[in-house]
């Protein structure tokens, strides 16, 4: 069962890093790279820090950059949540 959703990722991105003009976060963004969505390393760092606080699971700084896309980030975060058994 997926605990962390793409919808939640959208909400965090919107409130923490804002949205670039010309980007529709509500569209099918799962496989687009964070770069293409206008998010730099600082945006990704902020995102990781919020997820870490909300779920109490470790999200290494480089994870989302390595994950590259929202879909991969959602998958990684859910794996972490399952591992932590929370």
Partner 1 sequence: MPASVRTTGTVVTGIGVVAPTGLGVEAHWQAVLAGKSGISRISRFDPSPYPVKLAGQVPGFVAKEHVPGRLIPQTDHWTHLGLAAAQAALDDARVVPAELPEYEMAVVTAGSSGGTEFGQHEMERLYQNGPSWVGAYQSIAWFYAATTGQVSIRHGMRGSCGVVCNEQAGGIDAVGQARRLLRSDASLVVSGGTDASLCPYGLVAQLATGRLSSSEDPDRAYLPFDVDAAGYLPGEGGAILIMERAEAARGRGVGGGYGSILGYAAGFDPPPDSTRPPVLRRTIERAIADAGLTPADVDVVFADAAGDREADLAEAAAITAVFGAKAVPVTAPKTLTGRLYGGGGSLDVATALLALREGVIPFTAGPSRLAPGIDIDLVLGQPRSTPLRAALVLARGYGGFNAALVLGRGMDD
* CB closer to partner 1, 8 vs 46: 46
* Stretch of 26-34, 47-55, 64-72, 73-81 contacting partner 1, by CB under 8 A: 47-55
When asked if residue 32 is in the footprint of partner 1 (CB under 8 A), the reply is no
Residues that bind partner 1 (rule: CB under 8 A) add up to a total of 15
Instruction: Compute the radius of gyration of the chain from its Cα atoms.
Output: 12
Choose which of 7, 11, 20, 28 interacts with partner 1 (CB under 8 A).
20
* Stretch of 1-9, 28-36, 49-57, 70-78 contacting partner 1, by CB under 8 A: 49-57
When asked if residue 18 is in the footprint of partner 1 (CB under 8 A), the reply is yes
Long-range (24+ apart) CB contacts under 8 A made by 47-54 are: 47/9, 47/12, 47/13, 47/16, 47/17, 47/73, 50/12, 50/16, 51/4, 51/12, 51/77
């Amino acid at each position: 069962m997926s605990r962390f959703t793409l919808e939640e990722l959208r909400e965090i991105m919107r409130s923490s890093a804002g949205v670039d003009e010309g980007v529709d976060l509500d569209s099918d963004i799962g496989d687009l790279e964070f770069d293409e969505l206008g998010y730099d390393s600082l945006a990704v760092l902020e995102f990781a820090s919020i997820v870490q606080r909300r779920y109490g699971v470790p999200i290494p700084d480089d994870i989302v950059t390595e994950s590259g896309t929202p879909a991969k980030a959602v998958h990684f975060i859910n794996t972490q949540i399952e591992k932590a058994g929370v």
